[in-house]
Structures are given as structure tokens and as C-alpha cells.
Amino acid sequence: MVSCADKSEFSQWRGPDRNGKYPQTGLLKQWPDDGPELLWSFEGLGEGHGSPGIAEDRLYILGMPDTTGIIYCFDLMGDLLWQKDYGPEWHTNYTGPRSTPTITDGLLYFVSGQGVAFCMDAKNGDVIWKIDMFENYGAQGTSWGIAESPLLDGDRIILTPGGQEHNVVALDRFSGELIWSGSGNGEQSAYCSPIMVEHNDARLIVTMTAESILGIDAVDGKTLWRIPHNQGN
């Protein structure tokens, strides 16, 4: 689960700082022999590889019951509050969505396996804006679809389309307008989500592309350093 008890309005992949650390207290020190009690379950989400996001006592998760992606919203008792079809999903191999929703201030963000980034109203799933990263930013296709969970940076959303010109981009999270675009090393995106690192009074976006680990200035998108990894994407 991707939740933060003391920031109930905010949720993203791997926790508030994207490092797998969570501030919850009072957790079980040891599970019962038969595991924790199952409180509820839901059948029929379809295929998918992302994690749920939890904010404001709502749980959001993506699924693909056929070839169409659906976002589901539950309350914490497991009651389905709404579901919305958001269009074609990745169904060529390892089928289903890969993204974990990022949620803040009543808005949620995710990227489909087909490379479409969405901003939705968290109350009802209405689309506020969407951007096709292939059409708008010349994203380079990968063998197993786009696998990225958007990074929140204040009023910006950070995405990695890959490609020569718009390798990493920052969008206005309210409108979807492009704020800056960085060329990185001009490679395909990888199956990776960016993180934010603060070091020596600098704020860096660190992410991986097909053959590089990149350190990018969060202010303007300039590549500050690159480490080749030569492992493919």
C-alpha cells in the first residue's frame, strides 16, 4: 500500500519521499501464524502491475479487465465508489497498467502503459487534462510499455518520455502545460520512476533511461551529470 498517515492528502509511489519509508506507527511487530486478518477483497480489477495509492480515506488502483484501462476508487471498507475507463492499455506482453497513482490536493496523476499521462479529479475520475507523450514529446517506444509513476514537485509533475528532445519534462500539474524540457542523453525511457534528491542546497531529479542514470536540475531540466550503466532499459 502507498499511504502516508500524517499527510493524508498526499500519496505517491513508494511513500512520501519515494524511498520505501513510511511514518506509520503502532504496526504489528509480528504477524499471526495465519497472517493478518483479511478485511475485504475485490475481484475483477483485471491485469496490472502497479500499486494502490491511498489519500483522504480513498484507495485508487489501475486495472485492465480486457484491453481498456480502468481506474477504480474504493473507500477503506472496500466499497467501490466509482470506476472510469481511461482508454486503451498495454496488452501486447506483460499486459496491464504499470503506474501507481500520485495523489495530492484532490487531484490524481498516472501514466498508462501506452504513454498517456492523466490528471483526474480524485472525487469522481473526471479528466482534467491528458497528454500523449508519443504525440506531444516524441516518446520512444519500449518493448514492454511505459512503466512510470509521476513525480510530484510542488506545482509540477515530472515525467520521462524518453527520446532525443523531450527526454525528461516538467508539466504544470493543474493545466498540463510544458514548463521545461530536458534532452537528457537522448535515450529511450526505462522501466523506472524518477525521484527527488536534495544535496548541497541543490534539488536534483534522478532517473534512469535506457543506458544512463541522470542527475537533472529540478529548476530548469538541465542535465548536471550522467552515469552510464549499459544494461539496456
Element (H, E) at 81: strand 80-88
Whether residue 212 lies inside any domain: the answer is no
User: Is 215 among the domain residues?
Assistant: no
140 in any annotated domain: yes
Task: Output the CA–CA distances (angstroms, integers) from residue 86 to 77, 141, 220, in the order listed.
Answer: 25, 20, 31
Establish if 103 belongs to a structural domain.
yes
Q: Looking at the domain assignment, is residue 227 inside a domain?
A: no
Q: Which domain holds residue 126?
A: 10-192
Q: How confident is the model at residue 10 (pLDDT cuts 50, 70, 90)?
A: confident
Which tens digits make up the pLDDT trace of 92-144?
888 889 999 999 999 999 999 999 999 999 999 999 999 999 999 988 777 88
Indicate whether 45 belongs to any domain.
yes
pLDDT in the model for residue 6? 45
Asked whether residue 209 is domain-assigned, the answer is no
Average pLDDT estimate for 150-174:
93
Residue 5 has pLDDT above 70, yes or no: no
**Would residue 143 count as lying in a domain?**
yes
**Eight-class DSSP state of 162:** B
Q: What is the CATH number of the domain that holds 51?
A: 2.40.128.630
pLDDT for the residue numbered 3: 41
| Count of structural domains, the chain | 1
The DSSP code sequence of 90-133 is --SSS-S--PPPEEETTEEEEE-TTSEEEEEETTT--EEEEEEH
pLDDT band at 77 (very low <50, low <70, confident <90, very high): very high
Residue, of 7 and 88, whose pLDDT is higher: 88
Read off the pLDDT of each residue in 224-228 and give the average, rounded to a whole number.
Answer: 92
Digit-coded pLDDT (tens) for 12-47: 887 777 877 878 888 888 999 999 889 999 999 999
Would the pLDDT of 7 be above 70? no
**8 A C-beta contact, residue 90 and residue 113:** yes
Backbone angles phi, psi at 135, to 5 degrees: -70, -40
Q: What is the pLDDT of residue 4?
A: 43
